[in-house]
Amino acid sequence: MVTVTPVLIKASEGAARGGTLTIQGRYLGGPSTGKVRLGANEQGEGGYVFPAAAVQSWTDSQIVLTVPSDAPVGGSWLFVEVGAMRSTGLPFSVKQ
């Protein structure tokens, strides 16, 4: 099994709860192997993992999510994790 580190290229502008977040990148895996973490520190520790129900679509190059009503508000870091591999972080903020 080949494991490749996910690469984040771009995230949409900050979104409010209930809004849409689009993440573009490479090697993003899929909904069964990957997760999106928000509110982590710059090393990807802690934070909030988007629930599976928030995923609208997920391909190897793009993830579209609905920002859940319990997502932490404010600016922080966004990561994609596939298996044990974690992407570099992108800044993202959940608006009030």
| 39 has pLDDT over 70 | yes
26, pLDDT greater than 70: yes
pLDDT of 44 reads: 79
**CATH class assigned to 7-95:** mainly beta
Separation of alpha carbons 55 and 67, rounded Å: 9
**For the chain, which residues make up each domain, given as ranges?**
7-95
Condensed to tens digits (0 to 9), the pLDDT of residues 81-93 reads: 998 899 999 999 9
Tokens 């090697």 -> residue? 27
